[in-house]
């Protein structure tokens, strides 16, 4: 059974400020939670329905389906809700290829981008401080467990790009075609905000502007969504 205090505590973790203060975040669903457990994330507490059997030794508490539904953000809650400790950020890698995000706002986009980095073996994402929090429940949900395998750092992106020795690629409508670009092994690819793209103060730190060309005669007036563009860039980078 869930106490009123527990319900209040779980709901508190829906805001970034409270997650930061408590050092905790929420994850839902069997698959995602087992991936966090298997990746060494520290469980704070697990709430589960009677038909889910938690591994022995976990701090687990049985609740009714109705109670789980009352604290779930899913329309169809999936048997478990876990509270995990937010791990400390790992140091920024100075070699290899990283993705950098300049103010990505949409939780679904960030979750999808984390999945793509997991798929294409990009070990680290560098986020500007205004990028949506990766422990936002919608991001955790959309990342489908990939958040347990990709490390994410929030930092002053402008200051960092000023100091890095890696080649900095930025995505722009008018850049060189990605199909004719040779990406360095040690590089950073910046994806910009959904509405405004890469900001001017970041743009002047980009060493190479790249783009996805449109095909055919009839030109679309809309650019591709940032998650689509990330899929295409990472595929081209790794092929």
Q: Mark 161-190 with x for binding to a second copy (rule: CB under 8 A) and - for no binding.
A: ------------------x-----------
Count the helices and strands in the chain (H runs, E runs): 9, 10
Region near a second copy per CB under 8 A, out of 3-11, 43-51, 145-153, 186-194: 145-153
Q: Are 32 and 43 in contact (CB under 8 A)?
A: no
Q: Report the C-alpha gap between 161 and 188 in whole angstroms.
A: 9
Q: Report the C-alpha gap between 81 and 6 in whole angstroms.
A: 12
Q: Residues 57-75, buried b or exposed e (16+ Cβ, 10 A)?
A: eeebeebeeebbeebbeee
Closest to 24 (Cα-Cα) out of 86, 75, 74: 86
Per DSSP, 211 falls in state E
Q: Is 221 an interacting residue with respect to a second copy (CB under 8 A)? A: yes
Shortest reach from residue 235's CB to a second copy, in Å: 4
Region near a second copy per CB under 8 A, out of 47-55, 65-73, 198-206, 211-219: 211-219
Which one of 14, 138, 149, 203 is in contact with a second copy (CB under 8 A)? 149
Q: Is 222 an interacting residue with respect to a second copy (CB under 8 A)? A: yes
> What is the bridge-based pairing of β-strands 97-102 and 187-192?
parallel
Q: Report the C-alpha gap between 72 and 11 in whole angstroms.
A: 9
Q: Kindly tell me which of 158 and 176 has the beta carbon lying closer to a second copy.
A: 176
Q: Is 95 an interacting residue with respect to a second copy (CB under 8 A)? A: no
Q: Is 215 an interacting residue with respect to a second copy (CB under 8 A)? A: yes
Which one of 119, 160, 172, 183 is in contact with a second copy (CB under 8 A)? 119
Region near a second copy per CB under 8 A, out of 43-51, 60-68, 155-163, 207-215: 207-215
C-alpha count within 13 angstroms, C-beta hemisphere, residue 224: 17
Residue 213's alpha-carbon distances to 100, 188, 216, in angstroms, are: 21, 20, 10
Q: Kindly tell me which of 64 and 235 has the beta carbon lying closer to a second copy.
A: 235
Region near a second copy per CB under 8 A, out of 46-54, 115-123, 191-199, 200-208: 115-123
State the residues that interact with a second copy by CB under 8 A.
Answer: 31, 35, 112, 115-116, 118-121, 123, 144-146, 149, 179, 212, 214-216, 218, 220-222, 224-225, 227-228, 231-232, 235-236, 238-239
């Amino acid at each position: 059974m869930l106490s009123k205090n527990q319900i209040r505590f779980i709901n508190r973790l829906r805001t970034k400020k409270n997650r930061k203060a408590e050092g905790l975040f929420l994850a839902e669903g069997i698959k995602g939670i087992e991936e966090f457990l298997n990746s060494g994330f520290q469980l704070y507490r697990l709430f589960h329905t009677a038909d889910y059997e938690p591994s022995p030794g976990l701090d687990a508490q049985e609740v009714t389906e109705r109670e789980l539904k009352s604290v779930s953000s899913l329309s169809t809650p999936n048997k478990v809700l876990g509270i995990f400790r937010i791990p400390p950020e790992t140091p920024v890698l100075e070699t290899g290829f990283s993705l950098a995000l300049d103010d990505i706002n949409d939780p679904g986009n960030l979750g999808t981008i984390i999945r793509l980095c997991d798929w294409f073996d990009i070990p680290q994402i560098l986020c500007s401080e205004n990028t949506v929090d990766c422990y936002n429940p919608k991001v955790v949900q959309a990342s489908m467990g990939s958040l347990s395998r990709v490390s994410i750092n929030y930092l002053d992106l402008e200051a960092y790009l000023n100091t890095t020795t890696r080649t900095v690629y930025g995505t722009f409508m008018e850049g060189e075609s990605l199909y004719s670009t040779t990406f360095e092994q040690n590089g950073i690819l910046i994806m910009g905000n959904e509405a405004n793209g890469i900001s001017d103060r970041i743009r002047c730190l980009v060493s190479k502007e790249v783009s996805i060309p449109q095909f055919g005669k009839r030109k679309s007036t809309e650019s591709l969504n940032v998650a689509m563009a990330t899929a295409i860039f990472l595929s081209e980078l790794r092929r």
